[in-house]
Amino acid sequence: MFRSAYIHIVILGLLVLGCSRMAVCQTLVNVDAIKGIKIYNEALINTPNLESSPAFMGDKIAFVYTDVKGTLFDKEIGEPFFNLAYAQVDINNTLLNRSPYNKRINSDLHEGPAAYDAHQNRMFFTRSHKEKRLYRGVETDTFFLRIMTADLNPAKPDVKPVNINVANYSVCHPALSEDGKTMVFSSNKPNGNGGMDLYFAYFDGVEWTGIINAGIEINSNKNEVFPFLLNDSILIYASDRPQGMGGLDLYVSNLKNGVWQKPEALPEPFNSLFDDLGMIVRENSKSGYFTSNRPGGKGKDDIYRFESAQPIFGTDIRDIVTSTIQVLDKLTLEPLANAAITLTPLDIDVNNFTLSSYNVDMLSGKDPGDLILKLSPKKGQKFPEFYTAENGKAAFQIKKSQKYLISTKTPGFAPLELIFDYQVFGPEFNIVLEPEDLAVEDITNNIDDKSIIDENQSVGTTLDSILIDSKAGDVVVFENIYYNYNSSQLQKVAMDELDALARTMTARPQLKIRLEAHTDSRGTSQYNLQLSIDRANAVRNYLTTQGIDEERINIRGFGESKIRNKCTDHVPCTEAQHSYNRRTEVVIEEN
């Protein structure tokens, strides 16, 4: 339905939201993985109406939907106007708890496919635009598509058009590279290869520039739409070219030596005799979502999820890398010789927790009725045990795309297990083992900066005087706004400082602030960036519960980009030292 409405609109000039089948394509799609693919209808968010075009939006999934209960109806396509919503993602990657975006995002016209730049906490999305145009001497209202951008740091996003839009033509369907500086989009502007072509644009820090057509390998004389970039090297998109199975089909191309290769049509069950489009894939290529109007769904277009035990896109010899580990004494940082190390492949994605990837044991808690779920990763066949040399080092070869459980042990030290991700740890990293008789360290003795306020101290008076004396641009470091590792949940000690801040903002109604959240260096930089945004949001949400207008609070997440001590990637640190970097800073914007 989305496809037929889309094509109808293009023809009217109103709205736009590979390898051939006979060719031999063996380098990209993992045929063995496709055989075991499982497809699930996202029944908790799909309705009898239209749900389409999923997009990763931080830790949520955005999508396009229609609502027959809405008051706005497009007579040209016989459908309600398209809007944008988002859904939560549960531990099995199922989508649930759908919510519409606010009216800053959803206008009185159509909103379409979206993309997200976590580095700027900025959303890009498609919106219809009305222009006056002469048709046979008569001035008429004509609708085209534009790409809009919304800064999500303010509570009420500031929405503006991007500078790549073209008058009297449609520019739509943004997709972004991991760093947010490359955009793929679709347009029917002049000098293309067909109806809608894919283009690339590059952000120079001020505006989008360097716009180029994706070329004749990617674009046909038909329509290429709904692009997605996977790991900056795989382009997935939909096309209605004649070599497909029917309607819109999904195609994939990989970047090789700077050139996009001839696209390959994805096999069943991704493509069908019906419209298949809007596919997005997680970085491990084992899970993702796509849209289809195939029979058996709940509505006109439905969102489907796929899960695979193997990456659906193959890898080559360049995926094999060498890593070097050094095992150290936690107290002295002296190397430990003859430490035993084992490596076990894991079937998990560290950035997307899936319960099915773990063995689950149910244990009794301390109190009656309490239950504890003990999770241990499902493991493949472990590698043979190997040992560190006199300098505490050992080298091993692994797949760069695979996650591993590293187990390290040596007499006199507590054994240690950790999940190893080459993308995080890199080719060289350290492991520190704790002597078995080492007492638990006091957190206050391990933090590099002694200016941290004691957690039992009342900070209301001190905080009030700091803010009152501060001017626009000054920064107040909230040392006690701590978070648990890998969580955006505020620790209880944070409430004292936030309550004091709320009292100050209540007493000074002109005061406007920006919350800047920071993480420690553990985890991927991309994951930490999103985590910091979530943490800043957690603080803003708490302040609004204390009666502070959300429009007085902007946010910004920095992830691990501003570490305050030595604890950067691959540097052995205590938990206390890592905790020192998990903080929120308050920037005075107006006082």
The residues facing 301 across adjacent strands are 50
Comparing 250 with 129, the larger pLDDT belongs to 250
Share of residues in the chain with pLDDT > 70 (%): 78
Kindly indicate the confidence band of residue 488, based on its pLDDT and cuts at 50, 70 and 90: low
491-514 pLDDT per residue, tens: 565 677 788 888 889 988 999 999
Kindly indicate the confidence band of residue 395, based on its pLDDT and cuts at 50, 70 and 90: confident
Quote the pLDDT of residue 555.
93
- Assign domain 2-307 to its CATH superfamily: TolB, C-terminal domain (2.120.10.30)
- Greatest mean pLDDT range, 255-264, 349-358, 360-369, 430-439: 255-264
H-type alpha helices, 441-556? 460-469, 494-507, 525-545
Q: Which residue has the tokens 């997935």?
A: 236
* pLDDT (mean) for 430-452: 53
Quote the pLDDT of residue 572.
81
Quote the pLDDT of residue 411.
92
Comparing 450 with 588, the larger pLDDT belongs to 588
Q: Which tokens in the block code for residue 444? A: 């206050």
- Greatest mean pLDDT range, 4-13, 137-146, 310-319, 426-435: 426-435
Domain regions of the chain by residue span: 2-307, 317-433, 443-590
Residue 325 C-beta-side C-alpha neighbours within 13 Å: 26
Share of residues in the chain with pLDDT > 90 (%): 42
Q: Which tokens in the block code for residue 569? A: 């990637």
Residues 279 and 228 sit within 8 Å (Cβ to Cβ): yes
Instruction: With both helix axes pointing from N to C terminus, report the angle between 460-469 and 494-507 in degrees, rounded to the nearest 10.
Output: 50
DSSP 489: P
Asked if domains 317-433 and 443-590 share a fold, the reply is no
345-392 pLDDT per residue, tens: 876 554 444 544 455 555 555 555 555 555 555 555 678 889 999 999
Residues 182 and 201 sit within 8 Å (Cβ to Cβ): yes
CATH architecture entry for 443-590: 2-Layer Sandwich (3.30)
Q: What is the mean pLDDT of the chain?
A: 81
| Interstrand relation of 320-329 and 393-399 (parallel, antiparallel or unpaired) | antiparallel
Q: Does 53 score more than 90 pLDDT?
A: yes
86-98 pLDDT per residue, tens: 999 988 899 999 9
545 phi/psi in degrees, rounded to 5: -70, -20
CATH architecture entry for 317-433: Sandwich (2.60)
